[in-house]
Amino acid sequence: MDAIKLTVPGATPTQLQAGLAAALAFLRDRGVTPEVAFGAHAELETWDDQGIDESSEPPAGPTAVMQIWDQALKVAIAVACAGREGDPPHGCKLVPFDAWE
């Protein structure tokens, strides 16, 4: 589960390491691995490629996984930006295996 990359513009390596550790703990507590997140992302990206009725909903399982992943990013940003004033910087990312860059 160490194959995750955190990007927070302006954060020091120590801040990034702390944010990444917090995100990993958050994901681990919820049973989400980078592999699971990558698979959920891929499934959601292609769920309607085969002509599914546009009024249908995306699959619930992958959607839930991606919601957890988004929450992990928020946790990572909060830790990496602790002590900063203002909003988090634009361009923050949490990606498995550098896969979404």
If one counts the domains in the chain, the total is: 1
Query: Residue 34: inside a domain, yes or no?
Result: yes
Query: Residue 8: inside a domain, yes or no?
Result: yes
Query: For residue 64, is pLDDT > 60?
Result: yes
Query: Residue 33: inside a domain, yes or no?
Result: yes
> For 68-94, how does the pLDDT look when each residue is reduced to its tens digit (9 = 90+)?
999 999 999 999 999 888 788 888 998
Query: Residue 66: inside a domain, yes or no?
Result: yes
Query: Residue 101: inside a domain, yes or no?
Result: no
How many angstroms separate the CA atoms of 93 and 11, rounded? Answer: 12
Q: How confident is the model at residue 98 (pLDDT cuts 50, 70, 90)?
A: low
Residues 65/42, Cβ–Cβ less than 8 Å: no
Print the domain residue range for 67.
Answer: 4-16+25-48+57-96
> For 12-45, how does the pLDDT look when each residue is reduced to its tens digit (9 = 90+)?
999 999 999 999 999 999 999 888 988 888 888 8
Query: Residue 30: inside a domain, yes or no?
Result: yes
In this prediction, residue 50 carries a pLDDT of 66
Query: Residue 67: inside a domain, yes or no?
Result: yes
Residues whose CB is less than 8 angstroms from the CB of residue 80 and which lie 6 or more positions away in sequence, other chains included: 6, 8, 11, 15, 16, 18, 19
Query: Residue 86: inside a domain, yes or no?
Result: yes
Model's pTM, two decimal places?
0.82
